[in-house]
Amino acid sequence: MLGLEQTVVEAVGEQDGAIVISVRPVWSQRDRCPHCRRRCPGYDLGEGRRRWRALDLATTSCFLEADAPRVECNVHGVVVAAVPWARHDAGFTRSFDDTAAWLAVNTSKSAICQLSRIAWRTVGRICERVSAEANAGRDLFANLTELGFDEISIRKGQKYLTVVVDHHTGRLVWAFGRDRKAVEKFLDLLGPERCQQIRLVSCDDAEWITRPIAERCPKAVVCLDPWHIVKAATDALDDVRRQVWNEARRAGNKQLAKRLKGARFALWKKPEKLTDQQHAKLAWIQTLNAPIYRAYPLKEQLRGIYHADNTEHALALPDGWLKWARRCRLEPFVKLAKRITEQRSRVEAALHHSLSNARVEQVNTQIRLIIRRGFGYRSPGAVIALAMLSLGGLCPPLPRR
């Protein structure tokens, strides 16, 4: 009923409305180091009896209670002996941990907190524990050939994370801090042999990513992430819109300023997704003959490059676009054209390898959703753990399923 393995049940009692079950490890599992599982000589009785919260029995809370003696390991020193029913340093049983992690991946924050009667922060610590164990028992870096690097902020304006996605499977491979050292640490973990196997890397044009990759992965073609280019074009268009809006406001043309502000979404959206009203807005902008309407097709055509039917056709497009953008006399687009010219080979590499934007975007969206859910967590470690459980394939099954 309790799902306990290698455990002897000594007694069952009741205290303050909870069921308390006295247990001990079977003989073969006694006096083991929690880190290396080696049998060690006993050291002392530690802090005496200890309790672990187990899964509820029907509607009643349940705890396991046992001695927690310490052992002396040759390698790991004096440590509390391992127990078969719980992870090291945990206040919950293994099945409780696994259930909470599964719920964190599959249900809402309030559902898990109410169902399990634990705080969201505790869920974060459980995720870290479960993810670390699953991580240790599996080779997350096997067969990696195409990687996508991206950066995501955990909170507005602070604590950035670099995430690495496997382009083949869409799986989240790794997440860590945001600087050159973090990228180097990832490449260290990958090791020189696997670095040789990396054929394709997509990222934005940040040097702290591209430099170490160029040094360590000689065979990797670096592609400029289409998502970042399309975003840069959208930002440039928004700069133009803001300029025109500011001018209108300064000239005292309140009505024009107001309508321009409202046109923001129509300009952002993909044309195929526009509503009738937004189409009308675009038509209105066209009649103004303002710089915005010159900027709009510039953005749309750049986006279109990544939706071209065949690679050859797409590869021919940037030339025309660059010429057009350089001469458009719209400062943000002239700047963007310069940036793309500098990164030309990487832009073309992305087109040549038909690196799809869709998958990168999909994983990014999912990671951002998870990070938003992880807001209550203090440490980035818990956010990373939740992301790895959800998108890295590390989530444990429910106990006995």
Q: How far is the CB of 76 from Zn ion (least distance, A)?
A: 4
Measured from the CB atom, the residue of 88 and 264 that comes closer to Zn ion is: 88
Q: Which amino acid is at 152?
A: I
Phi first, then psi, for residue 56 (nearest 5°) are -55, 145
| Phi, psi angles (nearest 5°) of residue 166 | -80, 115
Name which of residues 3 to 42 contact Zn ion (CB under 5 A): 33, 35-36
The residue number whose beta carbon is nearest to Zn ion equals: 33
Closest to Zn ion by CB, 31 or 225 = 31
What's the min distance (Å) between Cβ of 33 and Zn ion? Answer: 3
Site string for Zn ion, 362-401 (x = CB under 5 A): ----------------------------------------
Strand duo 221-224 + 77-80: pairing: unpaired
| 137-171: b (≥16 Cβ within 10 Å) or e | eeebbeebebbbbbebebeeeeeebbbbbbbeeeb
Task: Determine, following the binding rule CB under 5 A, whether residue 75 of this chain makes contact with Zn ion.
Answer: yes
Nearer to Zn ion, 39 or 359 (CB): 39
Give the shortest CB-200-to-Zn ion separation in angstroms. 41
CA distance 224 to 205: 7
Which range touches Zn ion (CB under 5 A), out of 65-73, 157-165, 197-205, 352-360? 65-73
The nearer residue to Zn ion, 19 or 81, going by C-beta atoms, is 81
The contact mask relative to Zn ion for 76-95 (x = CB under 5 A, - = no) is x-------------------
The residue ranges of DSSP E strands in 81-167, in sequence order, are: 146-155, 158-166
Measure the CA–CA gap between 172 and 175, rounded to whole angstroms. Answer: 8
Stretch that binds Zn ion, among 67-75, 234-242, 309-317, 342-350 (CB under 5 A): 67-75
How far is CA 47 from each of CA 39, 80, 83, 87, 321, rounded to the nearest angstrom? 20, 9, 15, 18, 72
In whole angstroms, the minimum distance from the beta carbon of 137 to Zn ion comes to: 17
CB of 32 to Zn ion, least distance (A): 8
- Here the contacts of 329-335 (C-beta below 8 Å, separation 24 or greater) are 330/236, 330/240, 330/291, 330/294, 330/295, 330/298, 331/239, 332/235, 332/236, 332/237, 332/239, 332/240, 332/295, 333/233, 333/236, 333/240, 333/295, 333/298, 335/236
Q: Closest separation between CB of residue 72 and Zn ion, Å?
A: 9
Site map (CB under 5 A) of Zn ion, residues 319-358, x = contact: ----------------------------------------
Q: Which residues are near Zn ion by CB under 5 A?
A: 33, 35-36, 73, 75-76
